[in-house]
Each structure stands twice: as C-alpha cells, then as structure tokens.
C-alpha cells in the first residue's frame, strides 16, 4: 500500500474516532465541570474540589463516592464527607438545575497535584444510566522548604504535655451515673407493679382525607386560563399533597425537596410504584411553575388534579385495609388470651358407698 493510501486511511479512521466520541458525548444530557477553590496549595494543606453538573429536571446525577481512592481522584485524597447541593437557574435557564458536590481534599504530591477525569453517572428520565467525565484539574503545589536548603536537620526534642485530667472526670461521672441507675432499679423493684394497660382500639383518622378532598374541590374552581392563577394554584396543590402524604405515611414532607420525598417513597415497601411515579409528576410540575415561572395550560392543571386524586385513592384504600386488619386481629388475640387464662372447673368427688 502506497504512502498516499495509508495517509487517506489514517484520516478516515481518525475522523471516525472523532465522530464516535462526539456522538457519545452528545448522549450525556448534562454539562459536567470540576475545579479547585485554591490557586496553589502547600503539601498537606486542605482545599476544596468542586464537581458540578448542569442538567434538566428529569435527569438525576450521581457523583463519585468519598472512598473511591486514587484510581478516581488521582493525586488528592478526600479527608471529609462530601457536601452536595442543588441550585435552580430560574428564568435564566428554565427547566435547568445545577447539582454540585464539594470534596474537602489534601495532597502530598510534589510540584503539581493532578485530578484526572472524574466519572459522573447521569440517570435519564427513561432510567438509563450514562457515565460522563469532567475536565482534568491541576493544582500547583509549592514547597515549604527552600530549594537550596540541603542540610540534614536533627530530631526535635520530645514535647512535654501535662497529664490529662479528663479521663478521671469521665470515670467519676460514669461512677455517679452507675450508682444512680442502681438506686433507681432498687426503688422500682420495691414499688408495686402497675396493672397492665389495656390497648385502645385504633380508630381510623379521616381528617387528612377530608382535608385534601376539600382542597382539591376548591382547586377545581380555579380559572387556570388566567396566567396569574397558575403559581398560587400549584403552590397550594403541592402543599396539600405533601401534607396528606405526611399524615397518612408518617413522614416529613414539607421541609424536604421533591427529589428527597420521591427517594423516601421509593425506599418504602408499603407504597406502590404507581403512587411514587404520580407524586413525582405532580411535584415536579409544581416545582417547574414555582421556581422557573414556566407556563402551563388548563389541561395541565386538570391532569395534576387527576393524578393527585389517584394518589389519594390508592393511599387511602391501603390505609383503610390496614386499619380493618388491625381491628380484626385485636378481638381474636383477646379471645386467645381469655382462653389461656380460664380456670378449669373444679371436680367434686362423690362418695358412692353411702
């Protein structure tokens, strides 16, 4: 094969490789970045490594773990748990959010500490997991000893520390607590044991159910053709659904983000997946209107109300089944207990000799 043919073949292969890499990069629905907060550091000095991902609401991000090791973080070592956060861009970029992870790191490298491309997992709305890479980060490391200082230095004398007193203080506190516990147990045993408490029959609480039904009925009367009514409508709908889920499923919802509420529901075995998906759809639509000022139609509002009613219907039916099963189990257990405590009738011996 001639030189010209080999050159043409090499150009074709290089173009195919570049095209494949570009196609693969376009499949990642997020823009990844990494940077250090310090321009230069000393050996052993702590600084912050920040990894960011800009993406849409339907995408979730998974950053590298703290204990990934040098194969992932290169010349730096993670010395503290990472801190994660998120920020909505609002009107600047509707439907876009920036997730970030802050790692407190240190390095013992000489001259330059290099952080290689960090793998970041991007989970799409379809459930596909893609892996993208951040740009490499290089941080200059300056020496704490002059470059022309070549003398050997002797060992420094041992430092003297005063004898610590806190072990004796802790020992005294533990001894006092032990004596207090023993006195409490001694006095408790001397007192007469109280009679066993009779468990109350559980009564179903319909307050949360009635409240959200009244809220939904009031929201149906809102005119969503007026753009000024959209944000108050979705704020009220989101708060009503959160309060209902908090009351029925015994979970905190008002102070959690939508992603945290959905993640909690996914971990629970008593919540069907259809409930989780519908809650995600309603809360994410409400967040889109509240934080990004997105415009929605009246059909979107009707869809959100229908999905909320479906969630309430499923959760309420399972709640009623749970209360009914608890009521049915209570009498049976009481009967068994009465049967075990029943005293057999005394037998009377009759003298038949008379």
C-alpha–C-alpha distance, residues 238 and 216, integer Å: 11
- Give the pLDDT confidence of 287-328 residue by residue, as tens digits: 888 888 888 888 888 888 889 888 888 888 887 777 777 777
pTM tops 0.85: no
Q: What is the pLDDT of residue 69?
A: 86
323 touches 275 (CB < 8 A): no
β-pair partners for 113: 139
**Distance separating alpha carbons of residues 265 and 277, to the nearest angstrom:** 10
Distance CA 309, CA 285 (A): 16
Q: Model confidence at 191, in pLDDT bands (50, 70, 90)? A: low
Q: Three-state DSSP class for 347?
A: coil
Residue 75: the pLDDT is 93
CB 127 within 8 A of CB 68: no
pLDDT by residue (tens digit) across 104-158?
A: 999 998 889 999 999 999 998 888 889 999 999 999 998 776 666 667 667 778 8
**Three-class SS state of 263:** helix
Q: Which pLDDT value is given to residue 206?
A: 55
Q: CA 204, CA 124: separation in Å to the nearest integer?
A: 40
Buried b (16+ CB within 10 A) or exposed e, 15-26: eeeeeeeeeeee
Exposed e or buried b per residue across 205-217, where buried means at least 16 C-beta atoms within 10 angstroms of its C-beta: eeebbeebbebbe
Q: In whole angstroms, give the CA distance from residue 173 to residue 178.
A: 9
> What does the pLDDT read at residue 250?
84
CATH superfamily, domain 27-142, is Immunoglobulins (2.60.40.10)
Rounded Cα gap, residues 126 and 138, in angstroms: 35
Instruction: Please tell me the predicted confidence (pLDDT) of residue 344.
Output: 44
- Examine the pLDDT at 92 and tell me if it is beyond 60: yes
3-state class of 141 per DSSP?
Answer: strand
pLDDT at 337 (0 to 100): 47
Residues 83 and 334: their CA atoms lie apart, in Å, by 52
Task: Supply the pLDDT for residue 134.
Answer: 93
Domain segments of the chain as ranges: 27-142, 207-329
Is there a contact between 310 and 316 (Cβ–Cβ < 8 Å)?
Answer: no
Round to whole Å and give the CA distance between 67 and 79: 9
What's the burial of 85, exposed, middle or buried (CB within 10 Å: 0-12/13-18/19+)? exposed
């Amino acid at each position: 094969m001639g030189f010209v043919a080999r050159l043409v073949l090499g150009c074709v292969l290089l173009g195919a490789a570049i095209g494949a890499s570009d196609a693969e990069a376009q499949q990642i629905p997020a823009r990844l970045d990494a940077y250090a907060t310090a321009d230069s550091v000393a050996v052993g000095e702590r600084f912050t490594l920040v990894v960011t991902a800009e993406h849409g609401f339907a995408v979730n991000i998974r950053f590298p773990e703290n204990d990934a090791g040098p194969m992932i973080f290169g010349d730096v070592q993670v010395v503290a748990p990472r801190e994660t956060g998120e920020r909505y861009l609002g009107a600047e970029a509707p439907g876009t959010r920036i997730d970030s992870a802050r790692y407190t790191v240190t390095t013992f490298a000489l001259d330059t500490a290099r952080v290689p491309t960090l793998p970041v997992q991007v989970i799409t709305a379809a459930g596909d997991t893609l892996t993208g890479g951040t740009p490499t980060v290089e941080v200059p490391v300056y020496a704490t000893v002059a470059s022309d200082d070549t003398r050997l230095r002797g060992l420094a004398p041992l430092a003297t520390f005063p004898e610590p007193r806190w072990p004796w203080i802790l020992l005294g506190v533990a001894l006092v607590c032990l004596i207090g516990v023993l006195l409490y147990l001694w006095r408790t045993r001397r007192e007469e044991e109280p009679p066993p408490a009779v468990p109350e029959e559980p009564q179903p609480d319909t307050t949360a159910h009635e409240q959200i039904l009244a809220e939904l009925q009031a929201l149906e009367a809102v005119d969503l053709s007026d753009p000024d009514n959209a944000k108050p409508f979705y704020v009220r709908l989101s708060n009503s659904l959160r309060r209902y889920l908090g009351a029925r499923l015994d979970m905190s919802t008002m102070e959690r983000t939508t992603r945290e509420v959905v993640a909690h529901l996914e971990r629970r075995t008593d919540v069907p997946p259809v409930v989780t998906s519908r809650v995600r759809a309603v809360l994410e639509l409400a967040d889109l209107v509240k934080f990004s000022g997105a415009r929605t139609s009246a059909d979107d509002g009707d869809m959100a109300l229908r999905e909320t009613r479906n969630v309430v219907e499923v959760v309420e039916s399972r709640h009623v089944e749970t209360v009914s099963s608890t009521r049915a189990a209570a009498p049976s257990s009481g009967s068994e207990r009465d049967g075990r405590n029943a005293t057999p009738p005394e037998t009377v011996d009759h003298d038949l000799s008379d």
